[in-house]
Amino acid sequence: MVIMEGRVFVIGDVHGCLSTLKRLLDKIPWDPVSDTLIFVGDYIDRGENPKGVVDLILSLKEQGAKIECLLGNHEAMLLDYLKGKNRDLYLFNGGTTTLASYRAQRKREEDPLIPEDHISFFSELKPYIELKDYYIVHAGFRPGKKIEEQSLENMIWIRYEFIDSEYDFGKKVIFGHTPFEEPLVTKTKIGIDTGAVYGNKLTCIQLPDEIFYFEKST
């Protein structure tokens, strides 16, 4: 379990929507010194500037901000793509936008397509975070299984078997992955992917107060 001082702000799936993310960060009352910012994964694919989203997160971390980042299924697909696995799956799921973003911002043709610090970022993303009263995960957990028994595939891919279940994992689960028009709020879970990349909005939840902040995508 991670004990974090100060407030915790959790941001849903960004999917390359850099300008929307910047406006949301300007809106939330987040103190980089005392508060923690957590991203639920899916930083890349589909949106206008996937590379820029990762650049921004890395820049904030370099400035000393307290940031934790989870693995999303899109980052997992990118890592597989770079290893030569399931390439068509990644391209079908919006990967072409990410590859074009990196290609367009490459300084020299001979440079690696994905910079080394970005590869490290993707490779070191966490499967989930446990707080005092919450679990934070990209997609969810398989009902009926202990957290330590969950597979990575479940944590980054599961959808309605988790969402439709009333199973209580002992702590409320904050998750993304499956887009809703408004945050999904039940006794056992809160879904914060509100489809920013589809023209809806990017959502942040402040814990433990469970206050929501939104920024409409443009």
- pLDDT in the model for residue 77: 97
CB 83 within 8 A of CB 50: no
DSSP state of 147: G
What dihedral do alpha carbons 27, 33, 34, 38 form, nearest 10°?
Answer: 60
- pLDDT in the model for residue 54: 98
Nearest to 155 by CA among 126, 194, 127: 127
Q: What average pLDDT does the structure give for the chain? A: 95
**68 backbone dihedrals φ, ψ, rounded to 5°:** -120, 140
Q: How is the chain split into domains, by residue range?
A: 8-216
- pLDDT in the model for residue 44: 98
Measured CA to CA, the distance from residue 196 to residue 186 in angstroms comes to: 21
Beta-strand pair 189-191/201-207: unpaired
- The segments of the chain whose pLDDT lies below 70 read 1-3
- pLDDT in the model for residue 206: 98
- State the fold for domain 8-216: Purple Acid Phosphatase; chain A, domain 2 (3.60.21)
- pLDDT in the model for residue 110: 81
Q: DSSP labels for 37-105?
A: EEE-S--SSSSS-HHHHHHHHHHHHHTT-EEEEB--HHHHHHHHHHTTSSHHHHIIIIIHHHHHHHHHT
**39 backbone dihedrals φ, ψ, rounded to 5°:** -110, 135
- pLDDT in the model for residue 122: 98
Give the H/E segment covering residue 157: helix 152-157
Distance from the first to the final alpha carbon of the chain: 37
Strand partners, 9: 37, 206
pLDDT tens, position by position, 35-75: 999 999 999 999 999 999 999 999 999 999 999 999 999 99
Measured CA to CA, the distance from residue 73 to residue 20 in angstroms comes to: 21
- pLDDT in the model for residue 63: 95
Confidence (pTM) = 0.96
- How distant is the alpha carbon of residue 146 from its chain centre? 22
